[in-house]
Structures are given as structure tokens and as C-alpha cells.
Amino acid sequence: MHVIDSHTGGEPTRVILDGGPDLGTGSLAERARRLATDHEEFYLSVMREPRGQPAMVGALLVEPVDPTCVAGVIYFDMGAVLGMCGHGTIGLTVTLAHLGRISPGVHRIETPVGVVEVELSDANTVTVKNVESRRVHSKVAVDVPGHGVIEGDVAYGGNWFFIVDPSPLPVNTGNIRALTDLAISVREAAIAQGAGGENGEPIDHVIFQGEAPQRDVHSRNFVLCPDDTYDRSPCGTGSSARLACLAADNRLAPGEEIVQHSVIGSPYRLSYQTGPNGGVIPSITGQAFVTAQSTILFDGNDPFKNGIAH
């Protein structure tokens, strides 16, 4: 299996060029469901140690249905097959450029939740125009065992988010373990208490929004991913959901740009335009860097061929 690894703001992406399972035909959403239900062992073996690492997201290249797209992709991590991944799309775009498959300019990429547009400005800088994002519920109260009632917004940015603003804890690197534990508890409580999408979709990510020490930075976030690790980047789909909340509260005007930092300080530039269905069309600009090009081997005698289950 041939792969190319990159990182976007410190968050790793592994693009699988070949050697993945046959997911058949149909829409990317249908193929993503097959990956989730029929090939869990495959995607976990790629993400888990000793081959993978915590926080890594896989990007399986597949044939797009839409002929205007340069690629189709299905994202996943150790916790779930994902609808969309913002940092992964930035990493994928830089990887495609590294391979010589695309040049600077605007391109379309098909994901299970729809087609996204990417603009490659240079070898490392990408702007993703994400799927329409929306806030579904405002100030939802969930009772978190051991912590009491915590309020947050439920929003969609390609994945489902529970966004707490302001964060119950300072968003800094010294609090990463405490933020992780609290976010896991918040997500479990939100799912148990039915705080999710319009059609009962469960929360898969939690965001804590905090203040940034720099004056020219709008805010700093901590994002918990489905695999219970934190996002080293500011999270593209999470930033999209956050933009929907800011727009709904009239705290950010269409076209106005802000800088969002992650808990480790990596930046995205964010803005939005009004969407056709009442939501927002987010624009996320970040940088990715290729870190490895390698061949992954699977030895049938390896006791950890399918990865280490923690």
C-alpha cells in the first residue's frame, strides 16, 4: 500500500494512493458506509500504532462520481469514517500537487457529504470552500456528570459539533489532558441526552472556544475528534461550524476574515459567504507540508498486523 503523509498545522493526514479495499460503485456516501461497516479492520490497521499515530486522519483516494472533480476521497480516523475533513482536504490538495496531479489554481474534490472547492495558492497554501454549514440549536444545556450543566451550540460543518463558548477551562497546552477528559464527558452526555442534529445525528466532535493571547487572533480552540484525541489544527469542519454560529449571532459579517488558532497555536484564516439554504459557505485557509512517502506492508505473521487496540 503506497501512502503519502503530511501535516496541516501539526495535524497529520495519510493519503492512501493504492492498496485499499474494493468499495464497489455508487455515491461516495454509499462507499463510505461500506468502508465503515465492511472494512473497519482495514482502516483501523492503517491508523493505529505501530503504523499510524494518535490524531492521524486517513484519506482514501477513490474515483469521483462527478467528472468535474480531480479526486474523490473518503476520510477516517481511529474512531469513525468521517463525512468531511478540513485539515485532511488541505493535506490532500498539497499531496496532489506534490505528485504533480494538480497545479496552482481552483479544483474540485468530491467527499461523502458533497463537493468542496479548493484553491492551491502555492506548494503549501490551500483555501477550502467547504459544504454549507449551519447552526441547528443554540445554548443547549447538557448535564455532565461530575461537572454540572454545560451549555453549547449544536452545529454542522461536515461533521457534528457541540461548541462551548466560552470554554470551561483555559484553552492552552497545559490543559490538554483536562480539556480532553472534559470534552469526552461532554460528548457522552450530549449523545445520551439527545443533543444532536435535526434528524438525531449524534455529536462526534466537541469544541471549547477560548481567548487567544495575540491581539490579531480572534480566538483559540480545543477540538476533540471521534478517536478521543485533540485536533492539532484549528479543525476545518469545526471552524466551519463555528462560522455558522458567529453568523447566526451576527458576530461576524459575510466576507470578514478572522484568524483562528488551535490549542497549540497553529492558524487558519476564516471567512464565509451566505449560503443558499440559510447557512454559510465557509472558506478556510491553511498550510500543509508533506512529511513522508512510503510503502506500508502487512505481514500475515505479524501479531499486530491490524494495529494495537488501546
* pTM for this prediction: 0.96
225 given a catalytic annotation? no
d(CA 238, CA 209): 11
The one-letter amino acid code at 247 reads: A
Per residue in 208-249, pLDDT (tens digit) is 999 999 999 999 999 999 999 999 999 999 999 999 999 999
Catalytic residue among 69, 85, 225, 245: 85
Give the DSSP H/E element, type plus range, for residue 178.
helix 176-192
Dihedral sign from CA coordinates of 199, 204, 209, 214: negative
Confidence at 107, pLDDT banded by 50, 70, 90:
very high
Q: Which fold is adopted by the domain 2-131+290-295?
A: Diaminopimelate Epimerase; Chain A, domain 1 (3.10.310)
Q: Where exactly does CATH 3.10.310.10 map onto the chain?
A: 2-131+290-295, 134-274
69 given a catalytic annotation? no
Pick from 93, 82, 91: nearest CA to 117? 93
Q: What is the pLDDT of residue 309?
A: 86
Q: Which fold is adopted by the domain 134-274?
A: Diaminopimelate Epimerase; Chain A, domain 1 (3.10.310)
Per residue in 38-51, pLDDT (tens digit) is 999 999 999 999 99
